[in-house]
Structure 1
Amino acid sequence: MNILLLGSGGREHAFAWKIVNSKKCNQLYVAPGNAGTGQIAENIPLSVTDFEGLADFVLHKKIDFVVVGPEEPLVRGIVDFFAAREDLKNIPIIGPGQIGAQLEGSKDFSKKFMERCGIPTAASQTFTKETLEEGLKFIDLQELPIVLKADGLAAGKGVLICNSYDEAKASLKEMLLESKFGSASEKVVIEQFLSGVELSVFVATDGIHYIILPEAKDYKRIGEGDTGLNTGGMGAISPVPFADKEFLEKVESRIVIPTIKGLEKQNIPYTGFLFIGLMNVNGDPYVIEYNVRMGDPETQAVLPRIKSDFVDLLYALGTKKLHQYQFETENSCTATVVMVAGGYPESYRKGDTIEGLKGIESADKSLTFHAGTQLSNSNKVLTNGGRVMAVTGIGNDPYEALKNAYNTVEKISWVNVSFRKDIGQDLLALKKD
């Protein structure tokens, strides 16, 4: 099959790696891709939001199906765009329509959806510039800490955890009056703080049937010990030790099934991946957020644990035949460490040469996924983003997976490279207890 994959991050390189390793893949194109995807597929210089350009390419290259990696084209309605055209409507596109994409595109929408479906989540209320005064009064009624979330897409950085009432009020004003997160914070959700351990559960669904993929835990903060600013993600571990059979059965019965049934009942067509961000509160799962695509860097930890053919999975999603797909996982552990440009998630340099990439991988021990990279005219790999590389170690247990990841990380370098050295240590401590 000829396949088009949209995106340019580490998630997309992991998708590309998994797709090209399937015998069902004839040709993979990635738009726009990065230096890593360019080594295993053909990069196409098209933006993920250039719907007309992508449509022309799909028709010209006789693409069999399209996989959407990031959330922005989904929230902007690429699936609806394809469905509305006679010449494109029969080409499967893996991702939800614009209404379903609001589960990520609007925190307010997703909260109301959860309430209608009886899905356990933190209590919350939404405010706008016009209701700022009510929001300030609402803050006074909350227990500390207080969570503020920008309603729209904010590149994983639109969540603030405030430890004082003054901080929460000042932040609410910044978000609503000073557009701290641009148009994403035209609405702000003020939410109850849930205390527990986070993890992510991933669901593949064709709108009726579903498969629960391997779970993962990611690390959002830039600093060790989960300190400092929020980022798009600094690492991930899969499986998650505390997510035992009993806990995952609760996730399925209380969250996954009500979500899938809720989408169907409310006439919200949904095809593709659903990322459910969870908090384990004393053994009970609560939803923190939905994302309408796979996570990054969790994808880099999850996909190596999928044993069955990945192209078959994608095609089963797109053709609504997921019930016919035989899903198998590897009996292994993975640990992903994200390497970032110095200064990230604030200002950082681009264009630094990345050293040490040649011959570093052993397929059974580690995988290196490019994120913010590009090729120079002389074919050198350069940094081209905040999150630059994601290295996934594979092992029989978390200790071995982490050791293999960090052994590879130590071989890669560029000016002002940075990474967390404590990925997974909290889970190892839990395991010892």
Structure 2
Amino acid sequence: MNILLLGSGGREHAFAWKIVASPLCKKLYVAPGNAGTQQIAENAALNINDFDQVASFSLQHDINLIVVGPEEPLVRGIKDYFLSIPDLRHIPVIGPDKLGATLEGSKDFSKNFMLEHGIPTAKSATFVPSQITEAIAYVSQHSLPVVLKADGLAAGKGVLICQSHEEAAREIKSMLVDLKFGQASAKVVVEEFLQGIELSVFVVTDGKSYKILPEAKDYKRIGDGDTGLNTGGMGAVSPVVFATTDFLQKVEDRIIQPTIKGLRKAGMNYSGFIFIGLMNVNGDPYVIEYNVRMGDPETEVVLPRIKSDFVAMLQAVAHETLDQYALEIDEEAAATVVMVAGGYPENYDKGDVISGLEHINKALVFHAGTKRHENGHLLTNGGRVLTVTGKGKSIAEALEYAYAGVEKIQWKNVNYRKDIGKDLLSFNFNQ
């Protein structure tokens, strides 16, 4: 079949790598793609939020399946668009409809969904600009720390954890009145702080049945020891040592099953991935957030652990036959380290020459912010530039291979965390 994959990051390169490995894939197009996807598929210079453009390309190239990587086209309603036009309805879109995508597009909507369906989550309250006086009064009396979340999409940067009431009052005004995160913070969710350890569980569903993919733990802050600014993600590991069989059973019983039932009850046309951000609080799972697509860089450790045919899984999602698909998981561990441009997540340079990839032999390299110059040089073209994934019999071995690969790659002012996964190597179950 001919497949169109939308997106340009490390997640999409990992998707592309997995898709082209399937005998079911005749031709893969990636829009807009990057220098990594260009090596294994055909990049297409499309604006993925211009649905007319995506539709025209799909008809011209006899596309049989569309896989949506990032959240924005889903939140904007790409699935609804394709279903609304007779000539396009035959092309399945992997991802939820606009209503389903609101689970990620609006924090307030997702909190209400969790409350309605009895899904464990932190207590919260929501405020809009006209309620600024009440909002300031509320956070000024709130237990510390105070978690503030922009309601809408903010590129992974719309969450603030305030350590004092003064900071919370100042920041909620900055978000609601000054629109610190643009229209995304025209509504703010104030949430209680959950004390625990984070992980993510990934589910694929055809709207009726579901399969649970490998779990992962990612590392959001720029600096070692989880210090500095939040980023889109600096690394990830899978499996997660504290995600015991007992804990994951609780996740399935208390969160995944009620979520799938809730999607159906709400009338959502949801066929795709659900990323469930969790907090493990003394052995009990609480939902921090839903995302309606795979995570990045978590995809770069989850997909290498899937042994069964990935395109067959996507087909099963599209045709509502997922219950018949046999998901096989590799018992080996995977760890990925994200290499970023110096200055990221703030100001950074683009166009620096990347070298050393030809020396990588025991790791997978997924491109994120890269492009190929006409002279053949590989150049940086974003904040997160490359992700290097190692696999091994243990997290320690996977990390060894990942970091051995990272050390062979160079460009001007390259930066990466040196401690990805290290906290799990000596994990204390009593912490």
Query: For the superposition of Structure 1 and Structure 2, which TM-score range results when normalised by the shorter chain?
Result: over 0.9
CA distance in 1, matches of 2:2, 2:48: 18
- Determine the structure 2 residue equivalent to 1:415: 412
CA distance in 2, matches of 1:418, 1:158: 23
Deviations 1:376-398 (A, max 9, x none): 11121111110000000100001
- Determine the structure 2 residue equivalent to 1:392: 389
Letter paired with 2:375: S
Letter paired with 1:396: K
Asked whether the 8 Å contact 1:241–1:431 carries over to 2, the reply is no
Deviations 1:41-80 (A, max 9, x none): 0000001112111101111111110000000000000000
CA distance in 2, matches of 1:348, 1:128: 33
Asked whether the 8 Å contact 1:361–1:368 carries over to 2, the reply is no
- Determine the structure 2 residue equivalent to 1:68: 68
Output the TM-score relative to the length of structure 2: 0.99
1:382 aligns with 2:396: no
- Determine the structure 1 residue equivalent to 2:425: 428
Deviations 1:232-288 (A, max 9, x none): 000000000010110000000000000000111121121100000000000000000
Asked whether the 8 Å contact 2:140–2:166 carries over to 1, the reply is no
* Deviation for aligned residue 1:179: 1.2
Deviations 1:181-201 (A, max 9, x none): 111111010000001000000
Deviations 1:196-224 (A, max 9, x none): 00000000001110000000000000111
Deviations 1:115-136 (A, max 9, x none): 0001000000111110111111
Q: Secondary structure at the match of 1:430?
A: coil
CA distance in 2, matches of 1:343, 1:188: 28
Superposition pairs of residues 198-213 of structure 1, within 5 angstroms: 198-213=198-213
Letter paired with 1:24: L
Asked whether the 8 Å contact 2:65–2:93 carries over to 1, the reply is yes
Superposition pairs of residues 147-162 of structure 1, within 5 angstroms: 147-162=147-162
- Determine the structure 1 residue equivalent to 2:179: 179
Q: Secondary structure at the match of 2:100?
A: coil
- Determine the structure 2 residue equivalent to 1:361: 361
Deviations 1:348-380 (A, max 9, x none): 111111111124133xxx100000001111121
CA distance in 2, matches of 1:268, 1:86: 20
1:219 aligns with 2:219: yes
Letter paired with 2:99: I
Structure 1 segments, 4+ long, off by >3 Å, are: none
- Determine the structure 1 residue equivalent to 2:319: 319
CA distance in 2, matches of 1:377, 1:355: 16
Superposition pairs of residues 95-244 of structure 1, within 5 angstroms: 95-244=95-244
- Determine the structure 2 residue equivalent to 1:4: 4
CA distance in 1, matches of 2:269, 2:193: 31
- Determine the structure 1 residue equivalent to 2:83: 83
* Deviation for aligned residue 1:141: 2.6
Deviations 1:153-186 (A, max 9, x none): 0111110000000111111111111111111111
CA distance in 2, matches of 1:187, 1:110: 13
CA distance in 2, matches of 1:67, 1:361: 29
Q: Secondary structure at the match of 1:138?
A: helix
Q: Secondary structure at the match of 2:156?
A: coil
* Deviation for aligned residue 1:140: 2.3
* Deviation for aligned residue 1:4: 0.3
Asked whether the 8 Å contact 1:371–1:385 carries over to 2, the reply is yes
CA distance in 1, matches of 2:372, 2:226: 33
CA distance in 1, matches of 2:104, 2:130: 23
Output the TM-score relative to the length of structure 1: 0.98
CA distance in 2, matches of 1:152, 1:57: 29
Q: Secondary structure at the match of 2:388?
A: strand
- Determine the structure 2 residue equivalent to 1:299: 299
Letter paired with 1:380: H
CA distance in 1, matches of 2:145, 2:369: 34
Letter paired with 1:415: K
Which of residues 367, 370, 375 is equivalent to 1:370? Answer: 367
Q: Secondary structure at the match of 1:157?
A: coil
- Determine the structure 1 residue equivalent to 2:263: 263
1:51 aligns with 2:51: yes
* Deviation for aligned residue 1:426: 1.1
Q: Secondary structure at the match of 2:270?
A: coil
**Percent pairwise identity:** 64
Asked whether the 8 Å contact 2:151–2:187 carries over to 1, the reply is yes
